[in-house]
Amino acid sequence: MVERISPPLQGDERETLRAFLDFHRATLALKCEALDDDELRRRSSPPSTLSLLGLVRHMAEVERTWFRRVINREDIPLVWSDSGDYQAAFDTSGASRESAFAAWQEEVEHARRIEAAAESLEVVGYNARSDTTLSLRVIMLHLIHEYARHNGHADLLREAIDGTVGP
């Protein structure tokens, strides 16, 4: 069972950002809980490739990109595309819960280590795609936004699969 802890009502900025990010990570996991591979691959509205499994794979790419490639400046490819095609994560034909969640959890753990090792939220990384430097603070806020937006999609996807609504 997925454990989701509510963010603190009082805390410093970094603790609060970290907690909200973990809250949203857990929310995505909850939306996928107790579903089999076929249910997780079920597409929202064909021809769209949006599915719960696709969202998990996409968020693995997002975590990898912002923490490992941008903040840590690692020269590594995307998880599911050597050519940098971010849409490849949404192609879940042949994908499994096991492989998607393993990759996502691995990237989340990398992200947590990178964030914890950073001296402050002022640490900057370089985004080659937009030729910009960004602070860890902005990246954490961006990920909270990205998860929140996609968790809204996940709400609708899960309800369409089995009627489950809620947290």
Give the pLDDT confidence of 56-76 residue by residue, as tens digits: 999 999 999 999 999 999 999
Q: Which pTM was predicted?
A: 0.96
Residue 36 amino acid letter: D
Centre a 10 Å sphere on the Cβ of residue 100 and count the other Cβ atoms it contains: 27
pLDDT score for 7: 87
78: buried, middle or exposed (CB in 10 Å: 19+, 13-18, 0-12)?
middle
pLDDT at position 28: 98
Who wins on pLDDT, 36 or 46?
A: 36
Tokens 């021809």, residue? 47
Tell which residue, 68, 37, 141, 104, has the closest CA to residue 77.
Answer: 68
Instruction: State pLDDT tens for residues 105-115.
Output: 999 999 999 99
**pLDDT at residue 47 in the model:** 87
Taking each helix axis from N to C terminus, what angle separates 97-117 and 13-32, rounded to the nearest 10 degrees? 180
Please state, for a pLDDT cut of 70, what percent of the chain lies above it: 100
Give yes or no for residue 4 having a pLDDT over 90.
Answer: no
Confidence bin at 17 (pLDDT 50/70/90): very high
CATH of region 13-162: 1.20.120.450
